[in-house]
Amino acid sequence: MAIASTSFIEPGIVQLILCSRIADPQDANRLERDIDHIVRCAQAENARLELTGALLTDRASFAQVIEGPIASIEGMYSRIADDKRHQGVELLQYNTTHVRLLPLWPLAFVEVDCTPGIGRINGRDTPLDRRKACISVLAALRPLFG
């Protein structure tokens, strides 16, 4: 599927919602300088892999929605989990679907004042907290939906 396609129904799309924390608080300053470069590179790579989604950050934690073919999703998740710039990667939700939430966004970037529920979710494994975190992520993305 070309990301610019007018048909948004695709069989076998996987959708992940995940969160993590910045590994070293001292990296927050470096992240501030590097975020534009990181987003541009990720947008190009996601377009190549037919991935769409969004990255949210409050400069202490990250939340991400990633959608695409299963092989691309598995590879991307593995790279994210191995990335030393953040820690505590938590898979909050894994769905298969036929419709992408963000079909035209190789990677939207959203900076938020705080990401409710995301900082607390790392290190805890309760379904209620996971559900709250997913709702928080989707609520923060609402402006992208038009």
pLDDT at residue 130, as a whole number: 62
Cα–Cα distance measured from residue 112 to residue 116, given in angstroms and rounded to the nearest whole number: 10
pLDDT at residue 19, as a whole number: 86
Q: Is 9-145 a domain of CATH 3.40.50.300?
A: no
pLDDT at residue 62, as a whole number: 82
For residues 39 and 107, the answer to whether their CB atoms sit within 8 Å is yes
Average pLDDT score over residue span 2-31: 73
For residue 146, what pLDDT band results from cuts at 50, 70 and 90? low
Task: Please report, rounded to a whole number, the percentage of residues in the chain having pLDDT higher than 70.
Answer: 75
pLDDT tens sequence across 101-137: 888 889 988 887 655 555 444 444 444 466 667 777 7
Average pLDDT score over residue span 7-25: 82
Nearest 5°: phi and psi at 122? -60, 130
Query: Looking at this protein, which amino acid is placed at residue 18?
Result: L
* Residue-averaged pLDDT of the chain: 79
pLDDT at residue 118, as a whole number: 52
